[in-house]
Amino acid sequence: ILNVEQSPQSLHVQEGDSTNFTCSFPSSNFYALHWYRWETAKSPEALFVMTLNGDEKKKGRISATLNTKEGYSYLYIKGSQPEDSATYLCAPPDNYGQNFVFGPGTRLSVLP
């Protein structure tokens, strides 16, 4: 079973704060990593597909980086807003490089 870790498990920040969280994964059999945002009572929404070591992708105030050699990806949110409150999931490939394994997520609450 692939061990995907996300930290922290949860965090609370004030509106306007910037924050970041981590996804750690074994670096073997890597070919892509997905980030998703999952708001309560909604569907998980794809944020980024990261494929290359050193990749940095940005979508509005949210950005992500990837280090495949050391097996981690960071997600950054600049100037958090209440609408950013959600669970953020990462999904690297499984041990066989065939399917994606979801991490436990980081639950973000942005307080107004």
Partner 1 sequence: ETGVTQTPRHLVMGMTNKKSLKCEQHLGHNAMYWYKQSAKKPLELMFVYSLEERVENNSVPSRFSPECPNSSHLFLHLHTLQPEDSALYLCASSQDSDGQGNYGYTFGSGTRLTVV
Residues of the shown chain interacting with partner 1 in the complex, contacts defined by CB under 8 A: 4, 31-34, 36, 42-49, 51, 89, 93, 98-105
Q: Which is nearer to partner 1, 49 or 111 (CB)?
A: 49
Residue 15 beta carbon to partner 1: minimum distance, rounded to whole angstroms = 27
Residue 73 beta carbon to partner 1: minimum distance, rounded to whole angstroms = 13
Q: In what order do the strands lie in the sheet with 56-59?
A: 5-7, 19-24, 72-77, 62-67, 56-59
Bridging pattern class, strands 72-77 and 19-24 = antiparallel
Radius of gyration of the chain (CA): 13
Residue 1 beta carbon to partner 1: minimum distance, rounded to whole angstroms = 10
